[in-house]
């Protein structure tokens, strides 16, 4: 319907009816919000509109306006934030009314409303000759899944605070509601922890960076010191920016593996006396945290500062690719394992994760980790992010745990998008826009009475081969657009040929936003 009526939305909405009226945004147009509680949403909408139009668009509380944001109705609250995201939009020749029972719903309505205007509304400068006309319509909309996320690794390559906020704004446009912030790695520790300043003084920097692919031999390096980190003030700014857009940030502190940068900063965290530096190439590192009580307490201290900065329910503790060689070889680790009554290194990792999970849960939060946290026994109440296919997610759901499906085959956007001989260097694999769009988040093998435990899915952007933000945009878009529709729009309404047609219009919006998307599909 939308394509025939010149309304081309991504993701597609649940229900839309068009009429013959046209609302014109004018210099005299006034914005009103129904209560001071949602004044920040009024400012968000106004900020989106004033730059391209050049109009003042005065903002007030009440219903004396042409463009109204109304918080109304009883929320159908989910146990997982942000909860009810339903909204409606009514456009006539006289007014535009955006209505929702929650601020989150209004945030989604604002992003859809922007798309109802022409692509020029996304211009980065004033566009005085544009006609700001909105086609008459009635929209009723709600998401298919409660977890609609995008992940970003800022460790292998670092992205500035401003770039992170731009990325958050771009995913907000597509009605995502989670930003998975991967903050620690072997190659760099990116978040200031005041109790342990060497994590950034030492761990945020590496001596050089690999040139070419990790499989190339001999390895070559650029010999340029590389790094960066976010201060706690930076983090607060990013959180505030995301919050007004109703994007919940899920911070990840990966443990017990992927910790070489932390061990370089504080050698006592490691298993050997070897002097380490932050890793300069990509791949799985053999170094792992020890399991002494002092290390457990160190990581709890880190998590305390992380939880003080990020208000969202879920804290991600990684758990992936933790090689156990040092645990197998070090007598003190084996002695500790015997002391704890554990039968093997898998159980030891499960014990380690359980210490972190219980600490996080004691603070009123919930823990989530990659599907490796299933190995050796899953901590009570832990949610699982299934990346090695769907098997781990199915197993976790069958055990009664919440799951985010993130299978590498469909939603890893560090993969190639086309013929690798014609594409920039990437890690491996082939994940096209069409393949992303074909993904069915609910596994057919999962019993019907467990499907409610699948919270949703998210796209992953691991940055080994993403050296700068322009390249990040190239790898993300338009695959982000496809995933947005997979996660928001009912399966019955999804149609790839319709999506392709709407995407061609949507690309004009991305052009105005100066997004460096991949031009093919």
Ramachandran class of 319: left when φ > 0, alpha when ψ lies in -120 to 50, beta otherwise:
left
DSSP string, 296-331: HHHHHHHHHHHHHH--SSEEEEE--S---HHHHH-H
Structural contact between residues 97 and 70, judged by C-beta atoms closer than 8 angstroms: yes
**Residues in CB range of 456: below 8 A, 6 or more apart:** 145, 146, 147, 148, 149, 404, 405, 441, 487
Task: Return the sign of the alpha-carbon dihedral for residues 407, 410, 413, 418.
Answer: positive
User: What is the rounded CA–CA span in Å between residue 404 and residue 271?
Assistant: 32
Q: For the chain, how far is it from start to end, CA to CA, in angstroms?
A: 22
Please give the structure tokens belonging to residue 449: 């009475």
Please give the structure tokens belonging to residue 400: 């009664």
Find tokens 């505030």 and name the residue. Answer: 240
Structural contact between residues 133 and 212, judged by C-beta atoms closer than 8 angstroms: no
User: What is the rounded CA–CA span in Å between residue 108 and residue 41?
Assistant: 10
Between strands 96-100 and 87-91, the pairing is antiparallel
Please give the structure tokens belonging to residue 183: 């903050």
Structural Rg of the chain based on CA atoms? 24
Closest CA to 444 of 501, 393, 494, 495: 393
Structural contact between residues 502 and 2, judged by C-beta atoms closer than 8 angstroms: yes
Closest CA to 190 of 134, 221, 225, 232: 232
Catalytic residues: 321
């Amino acid at each position: 319907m939308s394509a025939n009526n010149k309304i081309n939305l991504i993701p597609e909405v649940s229900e839309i009816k068009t009429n013959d009226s046209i609302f014109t945004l004018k210099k005299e147009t006034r914005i009103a919000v129904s209560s001071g509680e949602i004044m920040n949403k009024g400012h968000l909408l106004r900020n989106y509109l004033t730059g391209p139009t050049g109009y003042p668009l005065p903002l007030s509380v009440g219903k004396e306006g042409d463009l109204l944001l109304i918080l109304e109705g009883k929320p159908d609250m989910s146990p997982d934030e942000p909860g009810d995201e339903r909204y409606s939009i009514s456009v006539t020749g006289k007014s535009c009314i955006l209505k929702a029972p929650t601020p989150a719903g209004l945030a989604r309505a604002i992003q859809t409303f922007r798309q109802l205007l022409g692509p020029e509304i996304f211009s980065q400068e004033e566009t005085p000759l544009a006609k700001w006309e909105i086609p008459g319509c009635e929209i009723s909309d709600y998401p298919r899944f409660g977890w609609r996320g995008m992940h970003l690794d800022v460790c292998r390559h670092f992205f500035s605070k401003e770039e992170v906020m731009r990325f958050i704004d771009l995913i907000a446009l597509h009605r995502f509601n989670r930003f998975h912030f991967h903050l620690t790695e072997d190659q760099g520790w990116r978040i200031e922890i005041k109790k342990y300043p060497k994590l950034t003084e030492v761990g945020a920097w590496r001596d050089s960076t690999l040139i070419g692919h990790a499989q190339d031999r001999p390895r070559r390096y650029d010999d340029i010191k590389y790094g960066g980190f976010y201060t706690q003030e930076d983090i607060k700014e990013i959180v505030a920016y995301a919050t007004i857009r109703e994007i919940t940030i899920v911070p990840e502190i990966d443990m017990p593996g992927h910790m070489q940068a932390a061990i370089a900063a504080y050698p006592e965290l490691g298993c050997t006396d070897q002097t380490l530096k932050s890793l300069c190439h990509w791949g799985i590192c053999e170094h792992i945290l020890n399991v002494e009580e002092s290390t457990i307490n160190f990581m709890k201290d880190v998590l305390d500062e992380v939880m003080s900065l990020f208000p969202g329910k879920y804290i991600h503790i990684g758990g992936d690719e933790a090689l156990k060689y040092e645990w197998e070889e070090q007598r003190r680790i084996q002695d500790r394992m015997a002391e704890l009554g554990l039968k093997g290194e898998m159980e030891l990792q499960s014990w380690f994760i359980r210490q972190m999970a219980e600490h996080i849960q004691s603070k009123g939060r919930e823990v989530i980790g990659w599907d490796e946290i299933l190995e050796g026994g899953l901590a009570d109440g832990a949610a699982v992010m299934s990346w090695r296919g769907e098997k781990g997610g199915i197993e976790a759901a069958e055990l009664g745990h919440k799951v985010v499906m993130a299978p590498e085959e469909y939603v890893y956007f560090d993969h190639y998008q086309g013929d690798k001989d014609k594409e920039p260097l990437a890690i491996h694999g082939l994940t096209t826009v069409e393949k992303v769009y074909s993904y069915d988040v609910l596994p057919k093998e999962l019993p019907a009475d467990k499907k409610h435990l699948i919270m949703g899915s998210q796209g992953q952007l691991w940055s080994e081969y993403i050296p700068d933000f322009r390249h990040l945009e190239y790898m993300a878009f338009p695959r982000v657009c496809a995933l947005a529709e997979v996660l928001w729009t009912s399966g019955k309404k999804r149609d790839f040929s319709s999506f392709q047609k709407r995407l061609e219009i949507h690309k004009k919006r991305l052009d105005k936003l100066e997004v460096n998307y991949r031009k093919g599909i």
